Chains A and B, each alone.
Chain A
């Protein structure tokens, strides 16, 4: 059986995104046509990656959402997608650039950590909840990553002594969208756990960290609600929240609690 050539699709995608990044960076004199070209290139890269995901799905005969590497693949697709949609909507060139960079980075990680592409799917994962749970979570992670990009950009602008007062409002947009997906992912997980394991919440380490992540963004939203002008503190909370999110996604596997987790198959 011929395995899908990930390197080939990744190379085409990376090349398209790289060119798109160049156009964003240097095409500043003819801004309108440059924007159009950059969007087209980024979109073509996305289409190439989507094609790979679809082929992978059909070859594996199961949704490619089981392993960490497979979730990274979705992330590499969704984050640039969000970057592109918000670029078309709000014309933030730097955001598209960074999201393409992040997507490329995750493709690169997958290149360095090749997948096992195992076809087997343990019975607990064979559920109608599997796809919505993972997709919604990946959307949430990608949106919240976008909000963190905004926060880092804001901190950098602040460091350079430039004006960044419009950025927190953009971060809010991403956080609200991301948090709404995060809530759905968490609750879909709970409803699924009841069907698969008999109880909706057992403080499994992955659940615990998912709750921590959720609570951290909850704190951000409330802080912003009350203190709309304390931008620096809010951006700080946002960056800490994303660190907690990363612990939930990857870090959990390295913690002493991981041995008891029902989510270890995703490692």
Chain B
């Protein structure tokens, strides 16, 4: 077979790698010398126009020049492999270099590798990948054949999800709102730290936390670190008593979910900031000595209280972990309409084009927090992204079927 020269049709891997390298250099140079000209997409309707323009170019290329070497090559496997490798390589950089923060290396800051998703090299990799994927999709989409359904679901689904996710990123709004109990709030902060006034107000009626039972552990008095490190579980929940920890058997005599220190003992109290406390009976299994004492996790109001067993060891109680937290809120619209709902992690609330999320609270105050941070998200492109995602999910079933078919040696797979 005669040796093919570079750029002589049909193009293959060599050209693919050259194009990848060229785009990478172009992206870096652009980033370094034209930093003011950012790789940012316009907002609605600019992004829609851009998307239609891009789709228009791909479709016209396929329609008018189906036999051109560019179209043939972009829709070929070498282009798919090189563009996916380009994308994958950038993702590896993204997975190693911490993102969205200044890097100690001036070179990384200069080339934008610490903010890859908004860098030119990433934009160009996307463009190359989506052009190749788009043309590969069109090749099997027109003319439509039933046997290509799996292929179309996978390729068109991925193209749709990636393209609309990229275009929609400029319309995505993520706002944080600090809601204090009893105070209607309509100002929120966007990701750039600017205050945004909303056409709705949110009033936090009640913020609630359910907590797991607190855990106990044994610490070394000298170092303050966990003393028993060679066993399975250095933490035991209060509910697991009696249990063995190092050379001690620990039993619980009394548990007070809300307690206050009075003298050298704890009593049940009902005040804000009263932490849990427990009275424990500890038996040293070496010398059979028994002792009784209190532990408390402490809170923003009270100091933690440790049970000093001897000069070496103390028992301490860890602050209880949150099992569930939720905000009862009232939403008031500008027209004066009111509605009440409860926000919880993993249970957002839909309102118009917005989704409301329980984000966080004042973690220092824990269950006595009167602050609830609510996130408001608006992402108008999400139906298109989800259409792509569901097409991919359907497409994955076709791949599954492919995987259960046994091939004979040398037989090409039936993905086509």
A interface, CB within 8 angstroms of B: 1, 3, 90, 114-124, 126-127, 165-166, 169, 172-181, 183-184, 187, 190-191, 194-201, 203, 205, 208-209, 211-212, 215-216, 218-219, 221-226, 228-229, 244, 247, 252, 255-257, 259-260
Contacts and interface: CB of A to CB of B under 8 A. Distances in A.
Say what secondary structure dominates the interface of chain B: mixed
B403 A183 contact: no
B197 interface: no
B243 A198 contact: no
A126 B377 CA distance: 21
A252 B92 CA distance: 11
Contacts of A208: 91, 94-95
Given A116-B233, A173-B407, A203-B94, 8 more contacts: A116-B232, A124-B345, A172-B413, A180-B397, A215-B84, A219-B85, A226-B81, A228-B410
Say what secondary structure dominates the interface of chain A: helix
A197 B176 CA distance: 12
B393 A173 contact: no
B117 interface: yes
Interface in B85-115: 85, 87-88, 91-92, 94-100
Contacts of B232: 3, 114-117
Closest 7 CB pairs of A and B: A176-B403, A177-B403, A226-B77, A123-B345, A180-B399, A215-B88, A114-B232
7 contacts: A173-B403, A173-B406, A177-B399, A197-B357, A198-B174, A226-B78, A252-B95
Given A123-B325, A184-B393, A212-B95, A201 B412 contact: no
A256 B321 CA distance: 27
Interface of B: 76-78, 80-81, 84-85, 87-88, 91-92, 94-100, 117, 165, 172, 174, 212, 215, 231-235, 237, 239-240, 243, 321-325, 344-348, 355, 357, 359, 375, 377, 379, 382, 385, 389, 392-393, 395-397, 399-400, 402-413, 415
Contact of A260 (B96, B98, B403, B415): B98
B91 A196 contact: no
Nearest to B94: A208
B399 A176 contact: yes
Contact of A120 (B80, B212, B413): B212
A180 B404 CA distance: 11
Nearest to A188: B393
Contacts of B393: 183-184, 187
Contacts of A259: 98
Contact of A203 (B88, B117, B215): B117
A200 B166 CA distance: 12
A244 B91 CA distance: 12
Contact of B403 (A180, A187, A244, A257): A180
A117 B403 contact: no
Contacts, number: 174
A54 B236 CA distance: 21
Contacts of A173: 403-407
B321 A199 contact: no
B403 A175 contact: yes
Contact of A255 (B95, B344, B385, B400): B95
Contacts of B345: 123-124, 126, 196
Contacts of A223: 77, 81
Nearest to B355: A198
B167 to A, nearest CB: 14
A201 B348 contact: no
A260 B99 contact: yes
A173 B322 CA distance: 44
A204 B170 CA distance: 19
B389 to A, nearest CB: 5
B412 A174 contact: no
A256 B399 contact: no
B406 A90 contact: yes
Interface centre among B80, B212, B396 (most CB of A within 10 A): B396
A3 B233 contact: yes
Contacts of B382: 194, 200
A229 B345 CA distance: 51
A123 B346 CA distance: 8
Contacts of B96: 255-257
B159 to A, nearest CB: 13
A132 to B, nearest CB: 12
Contacts of A169: 406-409, 411
B369 to A, nearest CB: 14
Given A198-B375, A226-B78, A120 B321 contact: yes
A118 B393 CA distance: 34
Contact of A176 (B240, B347, B377, B400): B400
A43 to B, nearest CB: 21
Nearest to B211: A120
A247 B91 CA distance: 13
Contact of A177 (B91, B347, B404): B404
A219 B88 CA distance: 10
A123 B323 contact: yes
A209 B95 contact: yes
Interface centre among A177, A195, A208 (most CB of B within 10 A): A208
Nearest to A177: B403
B92 A212 contact: yes
A180 B400 contact: yes
Contacts of B408: 169
Nearest to A241: B88
Contacts of B165: 200-201
Contact of A257 (B84, B97, B240, B344): B97
A179 B399 contact: yes
Contact of B402 (A176, A187, A190, A212): A176
Nearest to B162: A201
Nearest to B405: A173
Given A176-B399, A176-B400, A225 B91 contact: no
A176 B413 CA distance: 10
A183 B96 CA distance: 23
A203 B346 contact: no
